[in-house]
Amino acid sequence: MSSLPFLNADAFSADPSRLADALRDRGACWIADWPPQPLRDALRDELRALQGREGLAPASVGRAGARARRDDIRADSTCWLDDPRCGEPARDFLMHLGEVRTMLNRTLFLGLHSVEAHYAAYPAGGGYARHRDRFRDSDARVVSWVTYLNADWGNDDGGALRIWEEDGSTVDLPPVGGSVCFLSELEHAVLPAHRERLSIAGWMRRD
């Protein structure tokens, strides 16, 4: 198992283009402690509030006519951050992600037109089987982003994000303490966790 390029929040804030370097060189990067803890806490509170109001819906797989609920493939329940039930933390987060999009367009000329993101809660025992974030018939999603919202996470809690790099090696990232950004063409999976796993998954799109 290999490790990923790593930026801490200070390095990323001082020079966000280092993320572009990491994506170009390795296709993925871990950004520790970013976005800042107060925003991650507010996002977790908002996700919890949505859960209390049944604001999350079970995710489905496949597109259009072939959409189906398959919790053996994907067990999370989600709510898009641009939903009217979401508030300030979601708007703040989308603004941050929009700034990253602008930076990646400037540095890598990716032509990314928009960002989208949803809250995701995986129940204990649930994961997301190995997949790409691009649909077979669409390459609109170019860059994937995941921010982890659990306040704490133990070594034995499971729930790693596993990424398959281009050379076939894998990286496992525990879902806590920051964000990961990777090219949407890379295969990845969410391994089942022993407890509920909270996150935001986002994408930068070329439409």
Contacting positions for Mn ion (CB under 5 A):
133
> Which entry of ligand OGA, Mn ion, none binds 34, CB below 5 to 8 A by partner kind?
none
The distance of closest approach from Cβ of residue 38 to ligand OGA in the complex, given in angstroms and rounded to an integer, is 22
The distance of closest approach from Cβ of residue 31 to Mn ion in the complex, given in angstroms and rounded to an integer, is 17
Within 10 A of 95 (CB to CB), how many other CB atoms are there?
Answer: 10
> Which entry of ligand OGA, Mn ion, none binds 161, CB below 5 to 8 A by partner kind?
ligand OGA
Nearer to ligand OGA, 106 or 130 (CB): 130
Q: Which two tokens stand for residue 150?
A: 């659990």
Within 10 A of 44 (CB to CB), how many other CB atoms are there?
Answer: 19
Nearer to Mn ion, 42 or 200 (CB): 200
The distance of closest approach from Cβ of residue 131 to ligand OGA in the complex, given in angstroms and rounded to an integer, is 7
Q: Which two tokens stand for residue 58?
A: 């079970």
Nearer to ligand OGA, 16 or 158 (CB): 158
Nearer to Mn ion, 133 or 157 (CB): 133
Nearest Cα to Cα of residue 50 among 83, 94, 92: 83
The distance of closest approach from Cβ of residue 148 to ligand OGA in the complex, given in angstroms and rounded to an integer, is 7
Nearer to ligand OGA, 11 or 61 (CB): 61
Is residue 8 classed exposed, middle or buried when 0-12, 13-18 and 19+ CB atoms within 10 A define those classes? middle
> Which entry of ligand OGA, Mn ion, none binds 157, CB below 5 to 8 A by partner kind?
none
Q: How far apart are the C-alpha atoms of 48 and 201, rounded to whole Å?
A: 16
Q: How far apart are the C-alpha atoms of 187 and 161, rounded to whole Å?
A: 11
Q: Are strands 114-122 and 77-80 parallel, antiparallel or unpaired?
A: antiparallel
In the complex, the residues that contact ligand OGA under the rule CB under 6 A are 120, 128, 133, 146, 161, 175, 188, 190, 199, 201
For 44, which DSSP code? H
> Which entry of ligand OGA, Mn ion, none binds 203, CB below 5 to 8 A by partner kind?
none
Nearest Cα to Cα of residue 15 among 139, 96, 103: 103
> Which entry of ligand OGA, Mn ion, none binds 199, CB below 5 to 8 A by partner kind?
ligand OGA
> Which entry of ligand OGA, Mn ion, none binds 190, CB below 5 to 8 A by partner kind?
ligand OGA
Q: Which two tokens stand for residue 60?
A: 């489905």
Question: Cα 109–114–118 angle (5° rounding)?
Answer: 130
